[in-house]
Structure 1
């Protein structure tokens, strides 16, 4: 069978003010340096398996103003996240959810065909978006800064199906929308507004498991928008809700409860 000449491996090259700072950051997160030079132009390559990033030194890079991004497709985001999270906790003593660098947690992305994804914002402000590779035949899986997967025509159909299969509950759907705004677009204020409004309107009619997930994420968004008091309030409401859950519901929201516990510990 004839080989497609465009069957290529593409590797991101991202700007940074200090290539050695990027080297140290990613080595702490479990990658290895495979190339480094300082002259004539600063350049470094970090890699683990087929996950690799190239950095070039550039004066004037402002992390808070960076729009650079790339996407890494993996079979399972969970072990990649856990490896990065362990490195971040060891490096900073906590999981950095705000500022630069920071990380988001793996969550379903309704704007990416329903696939799970998370992002690492590196010390230079570049967004490294880690997405679950779609199943064979599921369609496109590319991406861009404002949409993590700009599907081909087949992928568009996959995305439409993902939206159609979204949960019917108001709060669960709002959680989907909040994740798109806060984790994909980086607008935690809007994500928080969407989710808080849905919880307020739904009242006591919300499915308990959906409410737990929403409260855990809302607390995180409060932290990310510099409102630790509100985060504690959300966590207190969540803690009061937990004893009312049956065993099946507790197992279903186990990850959200773990995230909430870590967030509470970080708040002191």
Structure 2
């Protein structure tokens, strides 16, 4: 028979905290990158194992160093829900501009822009890929989400976002947008057309301004 936890136990367990522990080849490289985004170091050790703990307000990320670790082969990822996803993206973008002169959208590290995610019920989110190849997936705290768009081109943008921003398959996302833009007619929603063209331009930058040359997609789902 299942026992019911005593009330005192439930009260003591009401404030649990979970911190993601992610791999990287160099904890100092990770520390320096996240410092540009407004994180502070709360702990660091080199022996017996490299380890660094970072914090930005209530967002905690911990990393462990692995000699010989290849960021291109990383499956490290975590999900972060925030009250204002666009405000956090803006803060990260400001940090990147101050350090690099621009928002990094290609290579590693990089960051996507906030967009509704069809594969997450229409909730707006963005992805940050750090120097260790870890995907920090930031989403707006759950609400009713966004209903599916009626415009065909807008739906194509949603599908492209899933492939590129969530899975790293920029080449296939570009193909989807190219096909949808080629079929766009006079009845296409002007707002959807503007969004599609802007996103296609962003993908072209990621692909090195050559839609036919893409980096291989990540294997994460």
- Is the structural similarity TM-score above 0.5? yes
Tell me how far 1:65 sits from its aligned partner: 2.0
Aligned position for 1:81: 89
SS of 2:165's partner is: helix
Q: Structure 2: which 5+ runs fail to align?
A: 1-5, 213-221
Alignment map for 1:152-231 (pairs within 5 Å): 165-227=147-209
Structure-2 separation of matches of 1:71 and 1:11: 11
SS of 1:21's partner is: helix
Alignment map for 1:1-268 (pairs within 5 Å): 2=7, 3=10, 8-135=16-143, 165-227=147-209
Moved more, 102-111 or 197-206: 197-206
TM-score, normalising length from structure 1? 0.72
CA contact (8 A) 1:64 1:100 kept: no
Q: C-alpha deviations, 1:71-117, integer Å up to 9, x for none?
A: 11101111110111111111112111110100000110011111111
Structure-1 separation of matches of 2:168 and 2:14: 32
CA contact (8 A) 1:118 1:183 kept: yes
Q: C-alpha deviations, 1:32-78, integer Å up to 9, x for none?
A: 11111111111101101210100111112112222211111101111
Structure-2 separation of matches of 1:71 and 1:229: 30
Q: Which has the higher helix share?
A: 1
SS of 1:204's partner is: coil
* Bigger relative contact order (CA 8 A; separation at least 6): 2
Q: Structure 1: which 5+ runs fail to align?
A: 139-157, 231-268
Aligned position for 1:238: none
CA contact (8 A) 2:171 2:211 kept: no
Root-mean-square deviation (CA, aligned residues, Å) is 2.0
Tell me how far 1:189 sits from its aligned partner: 0.9
TM-score, normalising length from structure 2? 0.86
- The size of the alignment, in residue pairs, is 204
